[in-house]
Amino acid sequence: MKLLPSSLSLLTLFVGALACPDEEGHDHHVHKREFPTAPLTPPSRPLVWGDLNIIHTTDSHGWLLGHQKSSFPEPNYSADFGDFASFVSHMKEIALEKDVDLLLVDSGDLHDGTGLSDGFPPGGVDAHETNKFITQLPYDVMAIGNHELYIYANTLDMYQNFVPKLNGRYLSSNVNITVADKHGKPVKRFTKFKTQKGRSVTALGVLFDFTGNDVNTTVQPVAQMVKESWFADAIKNEPDFFLLVGHMPVQRDDWPLVFNAVRAVHRTTPILILGGHSHIRDCVQLDGRSMSLESGRYMETVGWMSMDFDRNSRDKTKNLTFTRRYMDPNRVTFEYHAGRSNFTFDTRTGQSITRGLEQLSKNFDLDFFFGTAPQDYTLSRSPYPSNGSLLTLFATQALPVALAINNSRADIPNVIITNSGSQRFDVYAGPFTKNDQLTASPFTDSFLFIPNITAEIANKVLPALNNAGADERRRSFFREMYGRGHVEHLYRAWLEDMDRRSGIDRRASKNLTLGYVTSDACAGIGDDTLHSPLPFYDSPDFIASNPPKVSNDTLIDLVFVDFIEDQLLEILNAVQTGKTYTDADVSLYTPILANAALGLYAQEAWN
């Protein structure tokens, strides 16, 4: 059941009584900001601690100030990275008290996602500033993600300024970078270390078979990596456990190749896999002495894994005991599991990180105000087309307004076509800021056009694009896009499955707040907090502005984003035979880029 705000205060005060208020390293004189105005549901049960425990993050994509909107499910994820730092500190203390091991692990993709990472002024480097805060946490192992490789300047910045601070614990087992300084230290392929309790660890950091990397970087296919001599040497000696960290989904990808290569040498050694990339909550056990965990996206999930070692050291054939949990990152969750109250939770490091992130937001002018959104506009929780659909808003309202600004062709009727993947995150009611624009619509696509297309032909292009090639061609397209790092279709398929599975239980969960309702391949319930499932509505791959109200033979402009130019030309030549169109017929329609459209529209329509 939901807690009322008064109950929330009682809970946090009670939990706080378990902690020492004068503990060294905690500043209780700094007033903590208020809780989100919406009541937050507490965790359903305590975490299960084992001999070995892991806190896991992945695909954070710059979401270090937390989710700050009041519409659910956003308050579920309202903790910032300073809160997370305080949580980790308390959990480390609990591990010492319990005399067990606790590791902190990340599986990649620190770049590209919010204004904090992407809103830097000209001459800056993506995530350079946010990464400084990440290095303040005691990560034991981190792995590279594909978003660290799209732009060489970002990769080089990671190599020069981030990797050295990890002291050999930042791993890129199958990724290489070429640097001008031939004496530069290579990023480690694997590492071996001992835990607090003296247990030996062999750790690797693996990236899926990514093909969208920039120049001066290489990604070796996983199938080739496991055949390398260095890999054989790395796994030759048996540790107490293998820690396989990587930016690769724990199911339907190549983790079994790595797992089987290790198992071929060590039949019973515990193997813990921490994956990522597909932005979902997931768990699978490849055998009874291993567990594979994936912990969502955008700091919407903090993962937990625990394992007990063999009680009889002479018998290493029995299944081991594992648990996993998907925590909602918010103050209620963190204080509940840390045994703290709102007055005893914050550490000095945590508060310093929060203040630093807030200052970075000011430095990047992320609160720049475009207008006030009158309602929520979501990517998949409202049907397309509908008044609540962000895709409808973007294609039928924002683009026609934004692209007409200072455009000499504004009076010529047009059809504007873009891909639905051009929008990355929901827009919520309230102030629409520079940060919201960067979060919701980040891609810097240009708008091109072909003039003098009859309205009849232009109106055939959108349905033909969405129907092109049937199922096999669509599957081939998604395979290609997956290799280049696109995972939105996997995340949406997960949401769709969640909605379909949970549809019959909606009435039973009507008193719960919206959130993830996870079904995975591991035993028991993985979600830490119980929620009502998010509704899901499918949308087409391509969307467009409303057709102009003109006769079929009226000549209009066919406008489209450069990202889909090749596909659109192919379709245009298929729906008519009067002319074969090529890129020579294409011109720039406006200097305005796709990522500016929502802000320009907000200034015009939401003030």
Say how far apart CA 31 and CA 47 lie, in whole Å: 28
pLDDT score recorded for residue 504: 57
- Using pLDDT thresholds of 50, 70 and 90, give the confidence band for residue 469: low
pLDDT of residue 502: 79
Is 16 a residue whose pLDDT tops 70? no
- Per-residue pLDDT band for 298 (boundaries 50, 70, 90) equals very high
Specify the CATH architecture of the domain 48-363.
4-Layer Sandwich (3.60)
Cβ 421 vs Cβ 380: under 8 Å? no
Q: Which residue has the tokens 């070429």?
A: 178
Closest among 599, 329, 301, 593 to 439, alpha carbons compared: 599
What residue segments make up the domains of the chain, in order of their start? 48-363, 369-477+538-605
Q: Above 70 in pLDDT, residue 37?
A: no
DSSP assignment of 323-366: EEEEE--SHHHHHHHHT--TTT--BHHHHHHHHHHHHHHHHTTT
Tokens 């329509």 correspond to 605
Q: Check pLDDT > 60 for residue 25.
A: no
Token pair belonging to 9: 């205060």
If pLDDT is split at 50, 70 and 90, which confidence band does 35 have?
A: low
Band of residue 468 on the pLDDT scale cut at 50, 70, 90 = confident
H/E segment holding residue 235: helix 229-236
Position 344: which residue type? Answer: T
**Do 48-363 and 369-477+538-605 share a fold?**
no
- Bridge partners of 200, per DSSP, are 194
Q: Return the CATH number of 369-477+538-605, one of 3.40.50.2300, 3.40.1080.10, 2.160.10.10, 3.90.780.10.
A: 3.90.780.10
